[in-house]
């Protein structure tokens, strides 16, 4: 009759690769039906229950306890299997002792002083301590371990960023440093695409796809999946963007993240805008606000991010000619006023300006919060749709009758805080027979009035229509240009041009957060050498890649006793 037997060993530490091996060895013994070898956490006990390996002893196990369970054909076989555990453990020890290994990180650093990196994959509760030690020794950290607290993550990243070091992780599955893969990493061609990822398999999928498409990768900087959370605030992510923006071998940057905190994602995008290189963005589940804003390219999937990056390397975007006339504005000029006749164009303008300005007030707002208190009076950045019902009771639509709009244009132009006024000029059947003939003189008047007041007024316009319309598109554009209006037939293009000016005029110095020291690039570019604490397979991976490596024969400090551990750590930090 099948029987289940268990054994609990208190305070025993083995790495998880060894536990898996032990479980497989037990399960392979003759007469054994199933086996479980896990730490006694609640989650693991639920799992054992789910697969019918729970027994009364196991239920009593504590998280620090090693649980060994065997289900076998008979009680005797189960007991016999458990009896073999010590033998299996001994086998392992003799295999390990063949090779000399330093017992501490400090010794390992002496053994391999060139190592810039420490890889850490010990159990979560020990990982922060090891990482702190590595930072103290001036090393970058690849922190594979999960089950590390957010508070530890924040404190580690604050230390590292102040020292110009990277902490990739915790729970960082993968990274590529100048052609060398750390942790779970694919062998990917060296090339001009740099990736920063708060997304382990995201990084693997993107870099693998880049390789499959013929592209190559300079760096794949992992940050751990929580880096873009509200609490952590993208400390490592921003360091990563900074590294890649300075790295001369990186031509295109790709940013990937698991669902980020919206505020943090916005902050990261502000940093990315200043990278001076094309940046492809795929933040999972964050809807695309646009396909492109300046140097940012938004991808809808990991796969598309890879495609876009490869494409951008092949066809780099042309640098834009001409700069923005920012210096022409007087101090205090900083607001946008859009005077629209077309509701859709007004909505689209609001939507696009979200990428440039914190808020835009409107009489027909996208977001009810930003409803203009009085449609006749602008405030800060404002968009008025003069074709809204409130303006058209018993009055002609503003596409036919320019009067109201001209009055408003002159009024807005007199406001010393206004920098840019936008108009839409929609021609075609039904519209005013020659709108520019009325609007252009009004623009001249408004610009002159501003000039007399010591200001510069930028007026921009989208003209919608065709060359076959009765008003003739070109003739309308000429008149407006003659009045000094910046004109395009694409609403999007006009709004983005205005958005850039306004962003420039309203730019705040970027807050630095905690004092951050730039990461030294030459250190990253040197041939890699690494010290590994934890899963031995990570050492083996480095050796396969011809990377000098030292494996630390790590044991929990103070035998895993929490109180002693914390005393030891405090002593070291003195």
d(CA 22, CA 37): 7
Nearest to 534 by CA among 156, 47, 148, 26: 148
Nearest to 506 by CA among 359, 369, 371: 359
Q: Which is nearer to its own copies, 25 or 333 (CB)?
A: 25
β-strand pairing of 296-298 with 279-283: parallel
Q: Which is nearer to its own copies, 17 or 154 (CB)?
A: 17
- What b/e string do you get for 166-195 counting C-beta neighbours within 10 Å, with b at 16 or more? bbbbbbbbbbbbebbbbbbbbebeebbbbb
Q: Closest approach of Cβ 431 to its own copies, in Å?
A: 6
Q: Closest approach of Cβ 308 to its own copies, in Å?
A: 10
Nearest to 336 by CA among 450, 459, 426: 459
Q: Which is nearer to its own copies, 241 or 535 (CB)?
A: 535
d(CA 33, CA 56): 19
Q: How many CB atoms lie within 10 A of CB 271?
A: 17
Q: Closest approach of Cβ 501 to its own copies, in Å?
A: 19
Nearest to 111 by CA among 413, 521, 529: 529
Q: Closest approach of Cβ 284 to its own copies, in Å?
A: 5
Q: Which is nearer to its own copies, 113 or 467 (CB)?
A: 467
Q: Closest approach of Cβ 193 to its own copies, in Å?
A: 14
Q: Which is nearer to its own copies, 297 or 329 (CB)?
A: 297
Residue 178 phi, psi (nearest 5): 50, 50
d(CA 206, CA 204): 6
Instruction: Identify the DSSP state of 389.
Output: G
Q: Which is nearer to its own copies, 399 or 420 (CB)?
A: 399
Measured between alpha carbons, how far is residue 264 from residues 239, 257, 435 in Å?
Answer: 14, 11, 45
Q: Which is nearer to its own copies, 121 or 333 (CB)?
A: 121
Q: Closest approach of Cβ 566 to its own copies, in Å?
A: 21
Q: Closest approach of Cβ 337 to its own copies, in Å?
A: 16
CB contact at 8 A, 363 and 371: yes
Nearest to 96 by CA among 15, 184, 188: 15
What residues contact residue 312 under an 8 Å CB cut-off, 6+ apart?
Answer: 251, 252, 278, 280, 297
Q: Closest approach of Cβ 157 to its own copies, in Å?
A: 19
Residue 487 CB burial class (10 angstroms; 0-12, 13-18, ≥19): buried
Q: Which is nearer to its own copies, 197 or 419 (CB)?
A: 197
d(CA 541, CA 56): 41
Q: Closest approach of Cβ 522 to its own copies, in Å?
A: 25
d(CA 248, CA 440): 48
Q: Which is nearer to its own copies, 377 or 514 (CB)?
A: 377
Q: Which is nearer to its own copies, 225 or 519 (CB)?
A: 225
At 192, which helix (H) or strand (E)?
strand 190-198
Residue 283: strand pairing partners: 257
Q: Which is nearer to its own copies, 208 or 516 (CB)?
A: 208
CB contact at 8 A, 568 and 133: no
Q: Closest approach of Cβ 65 to its own copies, in Å?
A: 10
d(CA 33, CA 75): 12
Q: Which is nearer to its own copies, 21 or 155 (CB)?
A: 21
Q: Which is nearer to its own copies, 57 or 493 (CB)?
A: 493
Q: Closest approach of Cβ 511 to its own copies, in Å?
A: 27
Q: Closest approach of Cβ 247 to its own copies, in Å?
A: 22
Cis peptide bond upstream of 291, omega within 30: no
3-state secondary structure of 168: strand
Q: How many residues does the chain have?
A: 574
Q: Closest approach of Cβ 241 to its own copies, in Å?
A: 18
């Amino acid at each position: 009759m099948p029987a289940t037997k268990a054994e609990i060993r208190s305070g025993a530490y083995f790495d998880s690769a060894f536990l898996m091996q032990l479980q497989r060895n037990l399960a392979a013994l003759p007469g054994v039906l199933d086996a479980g070898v896990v730490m006694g956490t609640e989650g693991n006990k639920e799992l054992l229950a789910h697969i019918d390996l729970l027994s009364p002893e196991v239920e009593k196990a504590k998280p620090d306890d090693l649980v060994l369970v065997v289900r076998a054909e008979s009680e005797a076989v189960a007991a016999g299997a458990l009896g073999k555990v010590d033998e299996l453990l001994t086998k392992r020890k003799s295999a390990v002792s063949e090779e000399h290994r330093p017992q501490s990180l400090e010794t390992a650093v002496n053994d391999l002083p060139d190592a810039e990196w420490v890889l850490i994959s010990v159990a979560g509760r020990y990982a922060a301590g090891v990482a702190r030690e590595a930072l103290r020794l001036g090393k970058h950290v690849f922190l594979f371990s999960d089950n590390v607290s957010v508070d530890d993550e924040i404190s580690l990243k604050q230390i590292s960023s102040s020292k110009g070091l990277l902490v990739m992780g915790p729970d960082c599955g993968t990274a590529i440093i100048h052609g060398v893969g750390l942790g779970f990493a694919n062998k990917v061609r060296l090339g001009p695409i740099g990736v920063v990822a708060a997304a382990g398999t995201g990084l693997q999928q993107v870099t693998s796809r880049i390789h499959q498409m013929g592209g190559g990768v300079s760096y794949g900087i992992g940050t751990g999946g929580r880096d873009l959370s509200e609490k952590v605030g993208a400390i490592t992510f921003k360091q990563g963007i900074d590294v890649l923006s300075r790295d001369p071998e990186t031509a295109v940057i790709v940013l990937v993240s698991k669902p980020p905190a919206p505020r943090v994602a916005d902050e990261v995008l502000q940093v990315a805008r200043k990278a001076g290189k094309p940046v492809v963005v795929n933040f999972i589940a964050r809807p695309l606000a646009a396909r492109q804003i300046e140097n940012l390219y938004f991808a809808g999937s990991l796969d598309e991010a890879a495609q876009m990056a490869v494409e951008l390397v092949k066809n780099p975007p042309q640098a834009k000619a001409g700069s923005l006339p920012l210096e022409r504005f007087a101090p205090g000029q900083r607001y946008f006023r859009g005077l629209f006749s077309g509701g859709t164009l007004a909505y689209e303008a609001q939507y696009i300006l979200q990428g440039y300005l914190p808020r835009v007030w409107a009489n027909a707002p996208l977001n009810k919060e930003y409803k203009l208190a009085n449609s006749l009076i602008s405030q800060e950045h404002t968009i008025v749709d003069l074709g809204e019902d409130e303006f058209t009771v018993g009055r002609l639509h503003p596409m036919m009758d320019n009067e109201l709009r001209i009055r408003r244009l002159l009024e807005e132009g007199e406001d010393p805080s206004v920098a840019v006024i936008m108009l839409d000029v929609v021609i075609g059947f039904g519209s005013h027979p020659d709108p520019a003939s009325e609007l252009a003189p009004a623009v001249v008047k408004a610009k002159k009035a501003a000039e007399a007041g010591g200001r510069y007024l930028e007026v921009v316009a989208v003209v919608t229509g065709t060359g076959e319309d009765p008003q003739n598109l070109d003739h309308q554009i000429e008149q407006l240009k003659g009045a000094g209006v910046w004109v395009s037939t694409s609403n999007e293009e006009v709004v983005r041009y205005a958005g850039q000016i306004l962003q420039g005029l309203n730019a705040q110095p970027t807050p630095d957060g905690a004092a951050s020291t730039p990461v030294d690039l030459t250190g990253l570019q040197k041939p890699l050498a690494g010290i590994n604490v934890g899963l031995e397979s990570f050492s083996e991976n480095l050796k396969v890649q011809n990377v000098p490596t030292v494996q630390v024969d790590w044991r929990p400090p103070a035998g895993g006793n929490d109180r002693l551990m914390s005393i030891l750590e405090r002593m070291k930090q003195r």
